[in-house]
Amino acid sequence: MSYLRELVEHGKRLRFPEGVPAEVEQTIEKELFLIEDLKYPFYFLTIHDIVMFAKRQGILYQGRGSAANSVVCYCLEITSVDPRQISVLFERFISKERNEPPDIDVDFEHERREEVIQYIYQKYGRERAALAATVISYRFKSAVRDVGKALGVSETQLDYFIKNINRRDRSQGWQAQLVELGLKPDSLKGQQFIELVNDITGFPRHLSQHVGGFVIASGPLYELVPVENAAMAERTVIQWDKDDLESLGLLKVDVLALGMLTAIRKCFQLVEKHYGRKLSIADITRLQDDPNVYGMLQRADTVGVFQIESRAQMSMLPRLKPATYYDLVIQIAIVRPGPIQGDMVHPFLKRRNGEEPVSYPSEEVKAVLSRTLGVPIFQEQVIKLAMVAAGFTGGEADKLRRAMAAWKKNGNLAKFRHKLIDGMQQNGYQIGFAERLFDQICGFGEYGFPESHSASFAVLAYCSAWLKYYYPEAFYTSLLNSLPMGFYSASQLIQDAKRHQVDIAPVCVNRSTYHHYLRQSAKGLTLQLGFRQVNGLSEQSIKKLLQHRPPEAFELQRRSSNSDSIDVNWRLWPQPMRSSVFQGIATPHAGQ
């Protein structure tokens, strides 16, 4: 604990160079007291050690989820969300009444996450560290397919069933639809088919590896849980899933992968190389009120921008018109099924545009909802409302959040209705307001979005938007070199790059390398497409080509003014080398 306090003191000087505000200092002390009381300092020190390894290796990372509610995590450089920018709720992260370990999710670059995983194995040994499993259960489609195979139904027939059954059709169940599609309900096979699909839906099908949930123990793991070797070399997997581990109170460290972090790191390297400017995520987030960047976002010019590049987000951007970092936090969270089903989107937009007055039933409610104009959009707001308006304790409010997350599965949310509505009435609130709030909570369902999660994502959304606006050549090159990721294909990204006046050179036998890169040309910086863009050309073939490419071909190509035609470039290769290298790789013909 003393070492944790020492690290937090160092982090405070780093994160708050101008001095720690009094309210933030109080929050830090409150958090440290609870961490010590619940005996969790080792967990924070473990996560800190892992992220410091990533920092030393130049691997970009970002802590997200409920950990962004912790100022201690911010001081330890685990998260990057400044607590002054959002309304932190530590009870969302750790609660004494909840009596369960904290859960810190950290995203690392998707191309370098394996380095972090191997560091954990090397530090703690495979006896003491292993990845959790995920139990894959039968869903409707897999149940239909496996039962059909067992009963001898043809693949063609099963494909026909799966494609044509509409699970959203509430007027007709899938059983009746199967009959309409040709299944004979009176036959023994038809009866068995329907009965067995019903029986195995939800039943475990096979064991898979968790995306990144690590368990690290003080002694051999096999004394606690069953373990096995993973299919990938140098990995060990626990045979239980994360829910089993949570039930036993075993601490889990989530080492996750995020493609945008890879793209941002590559972009930083290109900016430093070609523009001589060294950047970091922290540098860019300090420039959070750039009107040029927000102008681009308001025009929905967000192809390739993290989290706000989908069609749904693009249609919301011109309506919400984000102009600050917190607007971006709301933008990311509001285009979700929860706020939409809870009827929160239209009231918020009307209030934001001045078409509807903003009112609050009390000052306590105003303190919780003022940042979102009186409309609850985040999970944390629901928890705080339950605490300030209905008298819930922090632990009870978190139980409400958990019930929200699973209410469609078990219906546990209904038992909170009376406590919430009665508590609010006792505190002087109108029954109409209380019932409307409960309806909104039900609308959230399992899709309510945490403010801390959205705040973490907003940092990367702004960072990627800033890079797109100021360094488009480096931005698109980095995205193309980080695929597959995001919503868009390489073709769509290249088309968008051209719309932003990025000069793009096609794949060239003399100039291209495996990856895309930037080079100087008569037009300035040009994005040279790499061989990885050629469909069907394997990495092994590309290496062979590059090993045999004569240096003079690249040099002549570099000097050539008319250099984008492969027909011209081809003749720079000596004839014997031309035939030996390209045999089996490509067959050139006239005009290519």
Task: Give the per-residue pLDDT at 408.
Answer: 47
Region 55-81: what's the mean pLDDT? 84
Q: Residue 61 above 80 pLDDT?
A: yes
Burial 431-467 (b: 16+ CB within 10 A, else e): eebbeebbebbbbbbebbbbbbbbbbbbbbbbbbbbb
Q: Residue 261 above 90 pLDDT?
A: yes
Give 497's pLDDT tier (boundaries 50, 70, 90). very high
Q: Residue 3 above 90 pLDDT?
A: yes
Task: Give the per-residue pLDDT at 10.
Answer: 93
Give 389's pLDDT tier (boundaries 50, 70, 90). confident
**In the chain, what percentage of residues exceed pLDDT 90?**
23
β-partners of residue 215 are 130, 252
Task: Give the per-residue pLDDT at 456.
Answer: 85
Nearest Cα to Cα of residue 380 among 468, 293, 455: 455
> What's the one-letter identity of residue 227?
V
DSSP helix/strand/coil, 471? coil
Q: Which residue has the higher pLDDT, 294 or 415?
A: 294
Q: Residue 300 above 70 pLDDT?
A: yes
Minimum mean pLDDT among 342-346, 351-355, 364-368, 495-499: which range? 342-346
Helices (H), 113-154: 113-124, 140-150
Exposure of 489 by Cβ count < 10 A (0-12 exposed, 13-18 middle, 19+ buried)?
Answer: exposed
Task: Give the per-residue pLDDT at 592.
Answer: 40
Count of Cβ atoms closer than 10 Å to residue 568 Cβ: 15
Region 380-387: what's the mean pLDDT? 78
Task: Give the per-residue pLDDT at 444.
Answer: 62
Average pLDDT, the chain: 81
List, for residues 526-578, the tens digit of each pLDDT value.
999 998 888 888 888 888 888 888 776 555 455 444 444 444 455 555 555 55
Q: Which residue has the higher pLDDT, 269 or 235?
A: 269
Report whether 544 contacts 519 (CB < 8 A). no
Task: Give the per-residue pLDDT at 583.
Answer: 52
Q: What are phi and psi of 250, to 5 degrees?
A: -80, 130
Nearest Cα to Cα of residue 293 among 493, 457, 471: 471
List, for residues 181-212, the tens digit of each pLDDT value.
777 777 777 778 888 888 888 888 888 777 77
Burial 495-527 (b: 16+ CB within 10 A, else e): ebbeeeebbbbebbbbbbebebbbeebeeebbb
What's the angle, vertex CA 338, arms to CA 336 and CA 340, rounded to 5? 70
How far is CA 264 from each of CA 110, 249, 285, 457, 469, rounded to the nearest angstrom?
Answer: 11, 36, 13, 13, 14
Q: For 221-240, what is the HEC assignment?
A: HHHCCCEEECCCCCCEEEEE
Exposure of 364 by Cβ count < 10 A (0-12 exposed, 13-18 middle, 19+ buried)?
Answer: middle
List, for residues 92-125, the tens digit of each pLDDT value.
667 666 666 777 889 999 989 989 998 998 999 8
Distance between start and end Cα atoms, the chain? 68
Task: Give the per-residue pLDDT at 245.
Answer: 80
Q: Residue 371 above 80 pLDDT?
A: yes
Q: What is the pTM of this model?
A: 0.80
Region 74-93: what's the mean pLDDT? 74
Give 590's pLDDT tier (boundaries 50, 70, 90). very low
Q: How many residues does the chain have?
A: 592
Give 147's pLDDT tier (boundaries 50, 70, 90). confident
Task: Round to whole Å and give the CA distance between 238 and 268.
Answer: 37
Write the CB contacts of 96 (distance below 8 Å, at least 6 apart in sequence): 34, 37, 38, 394, 395
